[in-house]
Amino acid sequence: MECRIEKDTMGNVKVPIDAYYGAQTQRSVENFRIAQDINRMPKEIIRAFAYLKMGAALANKDAGVLSQEKCDLIVRVCDEILDGKLDDSFPLVVWQTGSGTQTNMNVNEVIAYRGHVLNGGKLTDEVKILSPNDDVNKSQSSNDTFPSAMHIAAYKMLRENTIPALEMLHKSLIMKSREFMPIVKIGRTHFMDATPLTLGQEFSGYAAQLEYGIHALKSTLPHLAELALGGTAVGTGINTPDNFGENVARKIAQLTGLPFVTAPNKFEALATHDAIVSTHGALKGIAVSLMKIANDIRMLGSGPRAGIGEIHLPENEPGSSIMPGKVNPTQNEALTMIAAQVMGNDVAISVGGANGQFELNVFKPMIIYNFLHSARLIGDGCRSFNDNCVIGIEPVKENIKKHLDDSLMLVTALNPKIGYYKAASIAQKAYRENKSLKQAAVESGLLTAEDFDNWVDPSKMVGNI
């Protein structure tokens, strides 16, 4: 492979001749050969850095510390990064320094060297118009750029993918709840028969679970919108123009159309990732809800003849390579696996958030990698579950009626009339002798057939609907 020589403070390094990055990126490629084929830094972080570097260049230009010419070049390259034109220039993996310094420098080098080429220069030129450290990284440190990129990427993912998908699924569950509200069915607790409710009431519980989760997730967004930029190395803001933090946050907000602001305490913004931990905690809570919802729905649809079979799930693909005609609840299975993965990611994020020493958390790449993974999985998973399962669910009314009529727990309606213990004796007699509840009740001599019909009416046992 043909190479050129680049150098940094540690000496010379051979770099691929046509690569837009320099010595520090190449050192990271060589020193961190860890899952390089599967664990590259997420593209959302690279895009976030493009917004960040563009905002910083504009703020530096306004402060009079960066020329218009250099600012324009930085902005042009950042636009190319946002368009995905330079994706191959970001080869680094998540498993690097815990501050994300190598990724910050990777971005700095790509912007500087690509800007030099856009200005008519060559990658082999020893002196370039833009300096990665002195121009692209001006008024910044990896310690405040990487956490800012984390927040930009996380906020955008939630706003553009995760929350819209959750709201779509929530709306579909509400619609199904309303559609199914008149359908009286038997309830189940402990996997055993319980008193009746409606299928719509059951689905209303699922909708409420998501509503609470969405509310909890949205409540974390203001803290997530706070950017560490302006804190530089340890939070003091050394080597920044006056009001740089406020100005660059304003620029980034304008560029993204999102309400980013400067973090009120830069020491907290560099040393901790409590905002990410808290927000992912809300994602974990949603994952718990999705696990319950998906499991309930697949069990209600189990069968079709040897299970509960009270709802029919859409048939999307063959379910077996050996059993003809078999169809499985595949969307439910995918969503429960997603939920399990998010719960696992939460453990990693919690461990990462609790670590780091003094003025800097040093688990940043791992934390944001897992966060973006969870947010993407939940967004994509909810959209798939909604489109390929929930909107096509139909009740199987004959099975619902059969289970309702056969249930012994309708005897609960007799408690106020004959008392708990006498009602229990009727249920036990019906079960032991394999008789209907009505037959056992009449044979007990505790009530007449007319009394049973008047007192045991499932439609009157479901509350107000």
Q: Which residues are documented as binding site for substrate?
A: 99-101, 141-143, 189, 321, 326-328
Ramachandran bin of 11, using left for φ above 0, alpha for ψ from -120 to 50, beta for the remaining angles? left
Alpha carbon distance 428, 440 (integer Å): 9
Torsion of CA 162, 350, 267, 41, to 10 degrees: -60
Q: Tokens 């409540």 sit at which residue? A: 219
What span, in angstroms and rounded, lies between the C-alpha atoms of 310 and 302? Answer: 8
Nearest to 189 by CA among 385, 412, 460: 412
Q: From its phi and psi, is residue 71 left (phi > 0), alpha (psi between -120 and 50) or beta?
A: alpha
300: left (phi over 0), alpha (psi -120 to 50) or beta: alpha
Q: Which of 155, 152, 154, 156 is nearest to 248 (CA)?
A: 152
How deeply is 11 buried, as exposed, middle or buried, from its count of CB atoms within 10 A (0-12, 13-18, 19+)? Answer: exposed
Q: What is the DSSP-derived secondary structure letter of residue 158?
A: I
Active site annotation includes 320: yes
Residue type, 288: V
* Residue environment code for 136-148, b if the CB has 16+ CB neighbours within 10 A, otherwise e: bbbbbbbbbbbbb
Residue 220 CA to residue 84 CA, distance in Å, equals: 30
The yes-or-no answer on residue 190 being catalytic is yes
Q: Which residues are annotated as a binding site?
A: 99-101, 141-143, 189, 321, 326-328
Spot the catalytic one: 67, 320, 436, 459.
320
Three-class DSSP category at 121: coil
**Active site positions, annotated:** 190, 320
